Amino acid sequence: MLIKIKMKSGTPLDFDTDDLPLGDNLHSLLEMLSETAIPLYEQFKIAHLYRFHYEECKKILDTIRENNKDCDEDVNLLTQALNLQHDKEVILFDTKKHVENIFEGFVSFIKKDYTKALSLFTKEKFGFGIDLCDYIFEMPRNKLLKSLVHIKNIDTKEFESSKNILNKILSDEIFDCNVDENYKDFIKIKKKVLQDIMFCLGLLDTYNNENNNDVKHRTISDFINRGRYEEAISILENINLTEKNYLFGKIEHLKGNFNGAKQFYKKCISEGHTNTRSFILCKYNYERIIQENPLLYSFESGPLNDLNYYLKLKNNIEIDDNEDLNGCSQDLIDFITISKGVSNNLESCVIKYDILKNNKYMDKVIFNNNLVYLRMKNKFLFVKGEKLDTDINIKEYEKMIDEAISEASENVKESLLYNQAYLKLKPSQFKKLNSEQARIMSAFLNKEDQVLQDLGLVELASCLKDNQDVFELLSSRSSLYSNLQLGKLYLDKYIKNGINIDLNFATKYFLKESKSFYAANGLGVCLALQKKYNEAIKVFNAVVIDHKPSHINLGNVYILNGDYEKAVIEFSKYQNKYSEEIIMKYKDHINVDLMINVFNKGYKGLKSVIFEKLIFDNRLDEAKSYKVTNEKLKKLFDSKIKEKKAEDDEVKRKIEELEKYKRAKNIK
């Protein structure tokens, strides 16, 4: 095909694309590029024609670089694309960092260093590169790549898709643009290519493709990442996306409207598409807001409601009395209502529990065990210091427990045997069991102080004799809740009595559940009390991500460590009466700029303090913006203004006298 290359002289040069000068014949073309007045965009057009001939194209690009100023960036970009397209080593030029990172990501991908490639692509938010890496890791979000993974797994073949796909995308997006009569010059080609590239990199706000939902999705995500929420919403309202509720929720979440975010996240989760990326992200974000498992809350789907509330009960998460259970089945409503128990009416609770005998959610073994427990509970329950007397048929309960043990699986049989021994209160039966609870119970009934001491319970022995509730808590302390309570109990005892062993026990129990941020918070307190401030700071810095009130504890540790400015920064992140009092207490230890920053976060009580500090720092123009009502401070401000005016007038007078003296002496 013949194309015309424009010359600055105005006479076009015919160029045959089917018979390109190659090898030794290229020399004359290079001379022409060096000596003839050819516009730069036409030179790039010639280079483009040689894109499939590596050596020749590279020489042409080098010649263009030598003979033209201010073209390095364009030549570098095309040279990098050429090297990648021909599987050559890429030399990373000193160009814009995001472009360099993307090319380095492609190089890492080709070298099969997929982890590094994913890191670079993620850093630059380069969707195509991320999709490729996700495909390699068999976790693709792109539908086409999902299909490829599926086919790959079925055929058990190794897909070498990387180079083919890379070459295709590089040629399409960077180098391989069709140069024909539809493109009048390289500027238009370059403009189109750069528009595509910049949009992929998130550097353009919009893209000229009104009918492509994928493009709109990327535009929406870009607006959200930049904080341009209203523009994102305007597109979202008129588009049909499966991620719609997730994106609305994310916008509200970023705006700080947690209630609004929760509503959108709940809608997304209720749709039940559990394998989608939006479902997983909604689940995670919802969990961060409520600090609990999001699948354990009510949703609009009836069957899903049953499952969610059932899981919530099984995970010992309290269900509020005002939660709406209308969407649940009657079996589940009975199961939830009765399982919660009636703490102020034990007899009523026992009567209602019988309803669950044939409930599909209730396992027979658990039912027998729990019914016996509820009916026997008042045998050991103390209310206001008095033991309750009730008519108890021990034989009937023993029969129910025996039946439960005969049908129970091995993983729960130990617990049932413990309850059987508990029912009879015979130390010999506890001795047959291996659990720590059984050892405690046996030692308690036999008053074996040495065993209790070995278990770290000797100081609570007297308490156990008088308070069965505490004993029951300790005897089941293998649970998260029990370990937390034990840690808190020992911590309170240490604070009250100052006995170091109590602090050691508190630390031990919190360490058992250190994956829970509540326990980690307790561990941080223990470390601080042991004056291990650096360790405590590390713990609290990890905890505050999920447990905002721990900013208070972190601030307290900084104060103990003498770092008052960092302490104030932490207190400012969790506003309450205590944090305000502490900030006011240590106001003299922090600079005024930090105080202004804290004031802007909502601590309005600092206004007068900031006003006074700015006055003494002679920052009167700034102080003027803080309108205070304190008359004493107003007078101080006025006097400083007068002093400053007097100083300025004196300086002005001296300057005028000096000028007058110079004129009199004819000094220039």
Is the model's pLDDT at 490 over the cut of 70?
A: yes
Question: Regarding predicted confidence, which is higher, 212 or 386?
Answer: 212
Is the model's pLDDT at 378 over the cut of 50?
A: no
What are the tens digits of pLDDT across the range 76-129? 777 877 777 777 765 555 445 666 777 778 878 777 777 788 778 877 777 777
- CB atoms < 10 A from the CB of 543, how many? 24
Count of helix runs (H) and strand runs (E) in the chain: 37, 4
Q: Which of 294, 331, 289 lies closest to 312, judged by CA?
A: 294
Whole-angstrom CA distances from 182 to 177, 178, 191, 568 are 11, 9, 14, 64
Task: Give the domain ranges of the chain.
Answer: 2-225
Structure token digits, residue 284 = 């995670």
- CB atoms < 10 A from the CB of 234, how many? 12
**Distance between CA 621 and CA 223 in Å, rounded?**
37
**Distance between CA 523 and CA 543 in Å, rounded?**
10
What's the distance, CA 604 to chain centroid? Answer: 30
Q: Are the C-beta atoms of residues 565 and 590 closer than 8 Å to each other?
A: yes
For CA atoms 103, 106, 108, 111, give the dihedral sign: negative
For CA atoms 221, 222, 223, 225, give the dihedral sign: positive
Residue 603: its pLDDT value, please? Answer: 66
Is the model's pLDDT at 504 over the cut of 80?
A: yes
Q: Are the C-beta atoms of residues 619 and 641 closer than 8 Å to each other?
A: no
Residues above pLDDT 70, as percent of the chain = 54
Question: Regarding predicted confidence, which is higher, 241 or 214?
Answer: 241
Is the model's pLDDT at 249 over the cut of 80?
A: yes
What are the tens digits of pLDDT across the range 523-570? 888 988 888 888 888 888 888 876 778 888 888 888 888 888 888 888
DSSP structure class, residue 142: S
Residue 1: its pLDDT value, please? Answer: 53
Whole-angstrom CA distances from 249 to 179, 243, 255, 282, 548 are 45, 10, 10, 8, 21
Residue 387: strand, helix, or coil = strand
Is the model's pLDDT at 444 over the cut of 60?
A: yes
Question: Regarding predicted confidence, which is higher, 146 or 13?
Answer: 13
Residue 156: its pLDDT value, please? Answer: 33
Residue 499: strand, helix, or coil = coil
pLDDT band at 426 (very low <50, low <70, confident <90, very high): low
What are the tens digits of pLDDT across the range 168-208? 444 444 444 443 433 344 444 444 444 444 444 444 444 44
Mean pLDDT, the chain, as a whole number? 68
Question: Using a CB cutoff of 8 Å and minimum separation of 24, what contacts does 258-266 make?
Answer: 258/289, 261/285, 261/289, 262/286, 262/289, 262/290, 265/289, 265/294, 266/297, 266/299, 266/300
Residue 297: its pLDDT value, please? Answer: 45
Residue 389: its pLDDT value, please? Answer: 36
Structure token digits, residue 421 = 């021994």
**Distance between CA 611 and CA 625 in Å, rounded?**
9
